[in-house]
Amino acid sequence: MPEFAQRHEFKNAMNTFTHTEFTPDHRAAMDALAGSIYEHMLAEIAQARKLDAPRLRAVVDAGPALGPQAVEAKLVDNLLYRDQVYERARKRTAGGGEEPDLLYLHKYWRRSRDGIGGGDHTIAVIYGMGAVVRGRSEQPLFGSATMGGRTVASALRAAAEDDDVEAIVLRVDSPGGSYVASDTIWREVVRARKEGKPVIVSMGELAASGGYFVAVPADKIVAHPSTITGSIGVLGGKFITAEMWKKLGITFDSVQRGDHAEMWSGLEPFDPDEWAKFNGWLDRVYADFTQKVAEGRKLPLERVQELAKGRVWSGVDAKRLGLVDELGGWTTALRLAREAAGIPADADVSLREFPRARGPFEELFEERPDSSEDEGATARVDLARVVEAMRALRALEALSPLLEQLDQAGLLGEPAPQTLRAPEVRVR
């Protein structure tokens, strides 16, 4: 049995466990989000394809369209085979008597990162990808990346203390997570700005809850039109599993000191005093979150409380409501970083990643502290990760023919979508 509470009605991540369908507030928020993204998508397609918006809407409603129908509706220009597309590309790029070199995207990306020197000015790039957790960021061979409070905070400190760095771009793609870890990163963004280093946040597909929390003190926030952001709120609780264990014939017993030593046990629900304490904590976090949004975004607290309540917004709506500053991606964020640092428009800029990107084996065999919270702890090699890698390598050996074909088709690319990184190139 789930026992959860949230601040407030739109904070609905736990509804999967507590409800069998949308609540009215959940439905209203999701419907508004879908509508915002859909209307923006239609407007952009209509402009790009030079189509009348009502006509495009009718085409979408009549879809999906077969190839000839898509051509007739001007959604696409031609129906061509792969070799015909390549031939047209060659004709368009022909010149100087040289045969054009066709590259898969991932190979082009790799090549763009090699052999290019630094510029006259330096902008730091820091990644905050995945669920926000305390301790280290992790990029496992399998599974999802995490945004470690200690790793990202340390990277922000290093960039702020580096005399060569003139501005910082913090790339955030996160659904949120630990309040303590988010607050730790928030503090280092504040400190970096106090050190005179402008901080620009570039949001990815998702920058909500703790992912939005870490962004609010930045000089500027850039979101894609379809970025899911906001979710200014908090939730928490526990699952009561006593009946499940009873059905399995498994029993537990314990001894403890302190009236609330077993407050977080899943064997018993919160008692009235514990429930009051827990809700008091949620109130404290929510008040802190909304206050920091108000200060960072320079909005009245009353206005933030209207926009909060755990509700998510599209990038388009977040821009309209003042939760982000501009719509765009990397190019926009880098332009704003350059402007904030006073870097001349014609100057070469080098992007420097903090911390330095490491290969998978570097990550596996790196000596690390026994405790993710203690910088001075005894270093060790994470044997569990080494075993995981060895098992993975044995599996990959058997799959090598298939992997080679996938690589040739350009389907492997970087290890995971959330780790696609900006190349260390000079940008103007």
Answer yes or no: 209 catalytic.
yes
Q: Of residues 36, 137, 178, 209, which has the active-site annotation?
A: 209
> Is the bond preceding 8 in cis, omega lying within 30 degrees of 0?
yes
In this structure, are strands 312-314 and 199-208 parallel, antiparallel, or unpaired?
unpaired
Pairing of strands 379-381, 367-369: antiparallel
CA–CA gap between residue 304 and residue 153 (Å, rounded): 26
The single-letter code of the amino acid at 145 is A
Question: Which residue spans within 70-164 are E strands per DSSP?
Answer: 121-129, 131-133, 146-148
Q: Smallest Cα–Cα separation from 385: which of 367, 412, 400, 399?
A: 367
* Alpha carbon of residue 104 to chain centroid: 25
**Residue 323: which of 418, 212, 414 has the closest Cα?**
212
Tell me the two tokens of residue 208: 């909500």
Single out the residue of 298, 285, 323, 356 nearest to residue 203, CA to CA: 323
CA-to-CA separations, 370 to 39, 133, 375, 376, 390, in angstroms, rounded: 50, 17, 9, 9, 22
Q: Bridge partners of 235? A: 6
Report angle CA 249, 251, 253 to the nearest 5 degrees. 175
Known catalytic membership, residue 11: yes
Q: Residues 13, 6, 297, 321: what is their CA dihedral angle, to the nearest 10 degrees?
A: 60
User: What are phi and psi for residue 63, nearest 5 degrees?
Assistant: -75, 180
- Give me the active site residues, please: 11, 209
